[in-house]
Structure 1
Amino acid sequence: MSPTADARPSLFTLLRQIGQDPERPTEEEVEAVSKMIHTQEEKDRTRCGIGSFRPKWLQRLARKEVYLGMFCTIATALGMFGTYNSAVTSTLEKRFKMSSKQMGIVLSGNDISSTIFAILVGYFGNFGHRPRWIGLGIMSAAIASFMAALPHLIYGQGREAEDLLAATYSGTNMTVELFKEKKEIELCNTTLAEDQRCAEEGEDGSDFGGGIKGPMVFIFISQLMIGVAHSIFWSIGVTYLDDNLNKKTYPLYYAISLLVRMLGPVLGFMVGGKCLSLWIDPRYQPSISSNDPRWLGAWWLGFLIIGCILGSLSGLLFLFPHTLPGTLRREAKRVIRQTRIHTGEGRDVHYYAAMTRTKKQKAERPSFKNLLRALRRLFTNKIWVANLFNTIMAVLAYGGYFTFKPKYMENQFRKSASESNYYTGATSLTSLIIGTALGGIVMRWIRPRPRIVTGYNTFLTVFYTAGITSLIFIGCPKLHVDGPYPGSSIPECSAECGCTEQFSPVCSQDMNTVHYSPCVAGCTRADTEASPIIFSDCKCINNSSFTSTTVGVGGGWGVGGYCREACGMFQYYLLAQIIIKSVWATGKVAASMINLRAVRDEDKAVALGTLSVCVALFGFIPSPIIMGAFIDSACLVWDKTCGKKGNCWLYDSDKFRLYQHLVPAIFNFLSLFGDLVVFYLSPRIDFYGDKEVKDEDEVKDEVEDEDEVKDEVEDEDEVEDEDEVLAMTGKREDGEAAERERLTQETEE
């Protein structure tokens, strides 16, 4: 058997064959009609390259499959940036002494720039060279990634990290400067001279507490720049993809893109987990475990990695053509299909070719006046407005939830920052693959009616609300810490130790009781060469009974960090997350189609841009701020270095769990009202392009008689008399009949 006989078609070959009509137009027919409706300038704009650099081998890449691959790769990198932000949130709060609310404000820069630019970029960019617009946006994202890492490169790891490293590092390759003054761990009757530390950094204590302003500015600007990139990519990039795909195959292509793109958020968490497992200065390793709340991971390293990826991708986009060649072929095929469907009505291929030319000539040119018209069409579109409302409510629900989810897992289940990100990424990957793949398959091959699709989305809203509410009841018992914070006090056994409010938890030798710090535990010795650090001769830990005591005989030992939780609810929490997100993800493809199919084709870009603006302004900007404020209200121990309030060290886990799930459940329930309106009006939506060639209503909307065709063409100064207008519509019965007969015969051949 020959090798050719065993050859199997590729995935993209199969995708191209999906949805093809049995009476598919021949290439000769397509070429003949294309000559009727396309100018040479339009054909030149389908060539890959820049300027005079347009080699023949490069033209092989002018395909929708190549752009889809590039689209997925870029979306993956952008997704990495977004979830990496969430992965390092708690570390940034500790490093720069920020509260959760302050961190939410800093991260809102992404959505502020989206609010400013999305509509303008989505509208005017759609009339320009879209791949190059996208290339500029991704270049902006690369710069934003590098800027996000600048605070570390400028300010370093911070004085507290240096002190902790100096006090606990047992290696031999430390720099001489770091050991100029050996730092001590706060033990019983050991004075750290906090006032002196503050004086060393200046009377205002600018490096301790209150939130460091310089790094916050850099991070905020980086968020502004990444927001510009998102505005361009998710408006122009999506419409460029949609315009180059058949509407029947779009659901499957979009599902494939989602499956690939979802690797981005997962990889973001995975990269975050790996980077945070390294000390903030990867050259050294202090003698504390990553479970210790004082641990600071290399949060800046991932931004450099993501920036290099985005920078390398941005240049390739400039090589894509203004329009892919397949778009011109589809326009020609559409004319042929319209002619076949309406055979016998006295209208031949010339009529529909003229209609296509006229429609393209009358297409709106970019202007603020036309932009206002498009916006008026959008906000009078009941389906689009209702879908906008439920989208905003859904974003308010999960925006803040996913931002602080790794932090929640750290505090609720006592996982390290790296572990939290690994688990978050793994559950996201599993659930999204299952749900998105199933949703795409159903939408492509079963092709349910709009009423069924929107009804199912309504069910998903109810299901997700109930599911996330149920997570309130899956958690670990509230952690009790012996120490100076609301609801507790300094034990009598260490009352004379002169302890400060510096939080540094110690697990008692019974592996159950947690002390506020080694000083509060009454410890007088520390073995910094052990990892984690071992504290001994502790007055508040009874060595004989292996339990903690308020007076006791003392003499026990403990280890730095939290005790290992005996709670076994973590695996149930992960399982519930996978089930809820898998079911919820089955509606992602349908939700995307509603956004695109509820509006006119020429309004798709501005619709996505306007959606981005409204969702950013009323959803993404307030959601982390609202959630951060609720989380801050659950704080028990605030950092108060040098008298200034910084990050939170210890939370009331019961309140944290309640706020983390109840707030998004309420917002998600409110989105149900928008879903019900979309469900009621859903019969108007054309999901699969069935009305595009089977109805002549669109043609009649453009021209209802020959006089209207004449007016439309004269407006563009394309013809000067009625004979030319009649020739364009195929109605002329004299000299043009012979020419029409000849062209028809050529097409049939």
Structure 2
Amino acid sequence: MDLSKHNQNELPERERKAETEENNNSFNELSMDKDEMYGCQIICCSKTTKRYPISSMQCINNAKGALIFLCIPLFLANLINAGLFNAVISTIEKRFQLQSTESGLIASSFDVFTCIALLVTAFSGDKAFKPMWLGWGTFVIGIGSVLYALPHFTAPPYSIVDNNTGLCGVNVTNPRCEGTSIRNYMYLFIFANGLIGLGSTPLFTVAITYLDENVKQKNSGLYGGIYYSMGAFGPAVGYLLGSALVNVYTNIGENVDITSASSLWIGAWWIGFLVVGIICIVISILIIMFPRNLPGTSRFRENRNKEVHRNKSSINAANNETFGKSWKDAPKVLWLLMTNIPYVSLTLSSCINYAFVYGFNTFGAKYIAAVFGISISNAALIFGTAAIVAAAGGQLFGGYVITKFKMTVGEILKFMILCTAICLVAVFGFLLRCQGREFSGPTLEDIKNSADTSGCSNNCHCSTDYFKPVCGDDGISYFSSCFAGCRLQVNESHYHDCSCVSSKVSGNETVGSGLGILYFGATADECSENNCALLYPFIGIVLIAFLTTLTKTTPNLQATIRCIPFNLRTTAISLQRLVFTLLGTIPGRILTGKVLDLACISWGTECGDVGACRAYDTNKASLYMTLLLAVQMFICLILQIITFAIYKPSYANEDGEKSDEPGAKNTQTNDVEVSEITEARADNNNDDSIKHYANKTNGTYSTTESVGFDLGIANSAYTSE
């Protein structure tokens, strides 16, 4: 009997059968084990009730179904935290008189609460009922989103300031200062965003391992890429949604005589949070009903340690399946991960990547609006469109590349180094900017000293609480008609007898409407910018920088879970997430907000307290942002080079080379080999149960009656003919 020919015919058939089983888990198999069926079950205090299957829903009880339903809450969580909030951040700052640094604190509360939850998932996630964690996490996201919208209904209604209150010499008071400061709603935003971070934690840790252990290893990268790409779509769609909502007036149904282009306009920032919150609460019920393990997937969890970083402690941990499942193992687990240098350096490089992405993503639309002189709604639309391309393209491309070329960890690291090098070059394009318009208004020093911005308006007693910019005949934008020294108003949009304008203009007199006198005047709203041709080249630079950075997300995850023992994946990912949250996203957002605050040239107030920035020095903003991003990418590049230099897989010999000596124990298998060895099984009706597998190295086939594994490596020698 020609055994090799028999194997060649049998193996493809077995592969097709295994693939069919993975994609279409039969109901007969499900009926044999109700614990693997989609249905209802109550778990409380380690006590579990009987599972009640829902027959009509078994069609989604597979890896693809789980992927779809897990992508939805990840998409929505990122839509809120990294997209919608960033698109409406300027509106929230104006509505509640917040500084950019305070907005950064709100955004960072997501990460602070995430860190708290990560301490739990790190040592409980692997043994937990993962769908239960994911479902309740999604429910908490929904509650946090609804709370986000609450200030719209509980704060004093927004009203547009009367046109006459901004004239020089008119003594005005802010009626909002008579009660509780509206700035205190910042704390509710912090709590709401924190709840979203708390609920999102399982989606970034437990969901990854749930998908990984229920699919073949060779497909894990593709599933991870799709999962992350859908999550990355969230911020992009959030920006587009936010740009549309800020064009709707905040008080629905109220008619106002200004447009969204006015600096007094407040958009309907709250609608998106309310709608997303309701959706999350509904979808959480469907996620909870997935089983602990998807049907027919036990074989996918075998032999997954072949690329663990080669050191004694990692190998010992990989051979002990119960290690790391208990809190008492925490010190040993921490020591094992800390001594796994590739894991440490990958984690630190992730810190820099997340500081880069989350930092600029939080203030991207605001930065573009300030530096290129366009409205916040247009800036959010443009930045959101670029984010969609970068997010979808980067995440999918990263997952596709490592799946298509069956990359080893070493090859993945090379790919990441290339992406980082390209990004480092691209960030210098952030020096592109438009010529900033000249602005006259209260500086931080003026507010502290309770002084006007210049002598020409010293006697006007201007209020810094009211921001209603005007454009003087001298081409300078003023904080308000009062700061321009205007004492008379011709109509709703024209002012005259402006002392500050007349002191700066030369030979540019204008004639008052029907007054028969010469005066220097101003018109409502800021001076319009000349068309700047650098906006779209800048967006191209942003696209390249974000595309290359987000492309590394899935490869970084795959390199991480391969270089550590399989039974410590959730712990390693949770701790990694904890570290780059504390050292990456939180300081990244705060630093980026601080960079913008440093470039601020005029501030507003709320009841005398320093509030939101009203105008930026575009030269400083561009320079500071470029320096920050360039330093981040340079450090990231160095860390990735270090990782590549020190990583050695467990199948390498003492010289760090792959063993290929004749007659030596075969210590290298690729994903296809391991999959074929573990999945090519004898037909259930064959009593002999002889297992066949392919020797891809020599292109021949042989048989063995038993195949043993140590760290996912075949340790029973096989013949090669």
TM over 0.5: yes
1:558 to 523, 544, 559: 523
How far apart, in 1, do the equivalents of 2:215 and 2:99 lie? Answer: 46
Cα deviation, 1:248-282, whole Å, max 9, x if unaligned, reads 12222333333333321111111111121122212
Letter in 1 for 2:167: L
CA contact (8 A) 2:215 2:300 kept: no
CA RMSD of aligned residues (A): 3.9
Per the alignment, residue 212 of structure 2 pairs with: 242
Q: Provide the residue aligned with 1:612 in structure 2.
A: 577
Query: In structure 2, what residue type is equivalent to 1:132?
Result: M
Number of the residue aligned with 2:77:
78
Work out the CA distance in 2 between the residues paired with 1:53 and 1:546. Answer: 82
Match of 1:461 among 420, 444, 448: 420
Which residue does the alignment assign to 2:557? Answer: 592
1:120 aligns to what? 120
Match of residue 165 from structure 2? 185
CA 1:117–1:582 in 2, change beyond 3 Å: closer, same or farther? closer
- Determine the C-alpha separation between the residues in 2 that align with 1:454 and 1:321: 35
CA contact (8 A) 1:138 1:314 kept: yes
Tell whether the 8 Å contact from 1:384 to 1:595 is kept in structure 2 after alignment: yes
Match of 2:341 in 1: 382
Q: Which residue of 1 aligns with 2:409?
A: 450
The more displaced of 631-640 and 423-432 is 631-640
Shift of 1:493: 7.2
Are 1:476 and 2:476 counterparts?
no
Deviation of 1:283 (Å): 2.2
What is the deviation of 1:135?
A: 0.3
1:519 pairs, out of 482, 485, 494, with 482
Q: Please report how far the alpha carbon of residue 538 of structure 1 lies from its aligned counterpart in structure 2 after TM superposition.
A: 5.4
**CA 97–444 in structure 1, closer or farther in 2 if over 3 Å, else same:** same
Distance in 2 (CA, whole Å) between partners of 1:265 and 1:29 is 34
Provide the residue aligned with 2:137 in structure 1.
137
Where 1:279 maps in the other structure, the secondary structure is coil
Q: What do the CA deviations read for 1:53-94 (whole angstroms, capped 9, x no partner)?
A: 313332232111111111222211111011212222222222
Q: 1:557 to 1:113 in 2, by over 3 A?
A: closer
In 2 relative to 1, CA 310–526 (structure 1 residues): closer, same or farther, beyond 3 Å? farther
Shift of 1:317: 0.7
Whether contact under 8 Å (1:509, 1:559) holds in the other structure is: no
- Secondary structure at the residue paired with 1:277? coil
Task: Select between 363-372 and 401-410 the one with higher mean Cα deviation.
Answer: 363-372
Q: Evaluate the alpha carbon distance shift between residue 192 and residue 566 of structure 1 in structure 2; reply closer, same or farther with a 3 A threshold.
A: farther
Change (3 A) 1:493 1:70: same
Given that 2:97 and 2:605 are in contact with CA atoms closer than 8 Å, whether structure 1 keeps it comes out as no
Query: 2:142 & 2:18 partners in 1: Cα distance?
Result: 45
Percent of residue pairs identical = 23
Distance 1:138 1:416, change over 3 A: same
1:88 is aligned to 2:101: no
| 1:322 pairs with one of 292, 303, 308 | 292
Check whether the contact 1:635–1:651 (CA below 8 A) recurs between aligned residues: yes
Deviation at 1:315, TM superposition (A): 0.6
Matches of 1:251 and 1:145, distance apart in 2: 31
Shift of 1:435: 3.4
Over 3 Å counting, the alpha-carbon distance change for 1:28 and 1:234 in structure 2 is closer
Q: Secondary structure at the match of 2:412?
A: helix
In the alignment, structure 2 segments of 5+ residues that lack a partner are 1-9, 22-28, 42-50, 307-317, 447-451, 512-516, 653-667, 679-683, 693-721
Question: Given the superposition, is the C-alpha separation of residues 427 and 331 from structure 1 closer, same or farther in structure 2, using an over 3 Å criterion?
Answer: closer
Q: Match of 1:230, as an amino acid?
A: S
Distance 1:112 1:23 in 2: 51
Q: Distance in 1 between matches of 2:148 and 2:605?
A: 26
Q: Are the structure 2 counterparts of residues 465 and 293 from structure 1 closer, same or farther at C-alpha, using a change threshold of 3 Å?
A: farther
Q: Any conservation in 2 of the 1:48–1:319 contact (CA below 8 Å)?
A: yes
Which residue matches 1:258? 228
Mapped contact 1:546–1:556 kept (Cα < 8 A): no
Residue 52 of structure 2 aligns with an amino acid whose one-letter code is F
Helix, strand or coil: the match of 2:573?
Answer: helix
Number of matched residues? 620
SS state of the match for residue 558, structure 1?
strand
- Kindly report which structure 2 residues correspond to 1:225-240, keeping only aligned pairs within 5 A, or say none: 225-240=195-210
CA deviation after TM superposition for structure 1 residue 393, in Å: 2.2
Q: Indicate the residue corresponding to 2:539 in structure 1.
A: 574
Measure how far apart 1:40 and its partner are.
Answer: 11
**In 1: Cα distance, 2:380 partner to 2:551 partner:** 24
1:232 maps to amino acid: P
Within 5 Å, give how 1:5-84 maps onto structure 2: 22=12, 24=14, 43-51=33-41, 53-82=52-81, 83-84=83-84
CA–CA distance in structure 2, aligned partners of residues 685 and 362 of structure 1: 17
Query: Residue 473 of structure 2 contacts residue 520 of structure 2 at CA under 8 Å; is this kept in 1?
Result: no
SS in 1 for 2:602: strand
SS of residue matched to 2:181: coil
What SS is found at the alignment partner of 1:325?
Answer: coil
Please give the secondary structure, in 2, of the residue aligned with 1:470: helix
The secondary structure found in structure 2 opposite 1:363 is coil
1:507 aligns with 2:471: yes
| Residues 495/222 of structure 1: CA separation in 2 closer, same or farther (3 Å cut) | closer
Residue 299 of structure 1 deviates from its aligned partner by: 1.7
Larger Rg: 1
For residues 137-178 of structure 1, give each alpha carbon's deviation from its aligned partner in whole angstroms, at most 9, with x where no partner exists: 010100010111112221143xxx4242xx36xxxxxxxxxx
Quote the residue 2:700 is aligned against. Answer: none
State the match for 1:295 in structure 2.
Answer: 265
Provide the residue aligned with 2:282 in structure 1. Answer: 312
- Please tell me the residue identity of whatever aligns with 1:309: I
Distance (whole Å) between structure 2 residues aligned to residue 364 and residue 270 of structure 1: 46
**What does 1:169-208 correspond to in 2, within 5 Å?**
184-189=164-169, 191-194=170-173, 197=174, 201-202=177-178, 206-207=180-181
Amino acid at match of 1:605: T
- 1:210-225 to 2 correspondences below 5 Å: 212-213=183-184, 215-225=185-195
Change (3 A) 1:493 1:614: closer
Mapped partners of 1:269, 1:28: distance in 2 = 42
Contact 1:431 1:578 in 2 (8 A): yes
1:599 deviation in Å? 1.3
CA distance in 1, matches of 2:369, 2:606: 23
Q: Which runs of 5+ in 1 are unaligned?
A: 1-19, 32-38, 169-183, 339-358, 700-739
Please give the alpha-carbon distance, in whole angstroms, between the structure 2 residues aligned to 1:595 and 1:585. Answer: 16
Q: Structure 1 residue 281 and structure 2 residue 251: aligned? A: yes
Q: Tell me: CA distance 1:366–1:508, structure 2 relative to 1, closer, same or farther (3 Å).
A: same
- Contact 2:131–2:292, Cα closer than 8 Å, also in 1: yes
**Paired AA for residue 254 in structure 1:** G
For 1:42 and 1:376, locate their aligned partners in 2 and report how far apart those are by CA, in whole Å. 42
Partners of 1:387 and 1:678 within 8 A in 2:
yes
Paired amino acid for 2:66:
Y
The amino acid of 1:186's aligned partner reads: G
The residue number in structure 1 matching 2:696 is none
Q: Does 1:392 align with 2:362?
A: no
| Letter aligned with residue 141 of structure 1 | I
- CA separation of 1:569/1:119 partners in 2, compared to 1, >3 Å: closer, same or farther? same
Other-structure match for 1:666: 631
Q: Counterpart of 1:369?
A: 328
3-state DSSP class of the match of 1:648? strand
Query: Separation in 2 of the partners of 1:108 and 1:276?
Result: 23
TM-score by length of 1: 0.74
Which of 157, 162, 168 aligns to 2:159? It is 162
Contact 1:291 1:414 in 2 (8 A): no
Distance (Å, rounded) in 1 between the aligned partners of 2:339 and 2:351: 18
- Aligned partners of 1:153, 1:257: CA distance in 2, in Å? 35
Counterpart CA distance in 1 for 2:394 and 2:457 is 55
Residue 397 of structure 1 contacts residue 666 of structure 1 at CA under 8 Å; is this kept in 2? no
Q: Distance in 1 between matches of 2:688 and 2:557?
A: 40
1:637-656 matched pairs, under 5 angstroms: 637-656=602-621
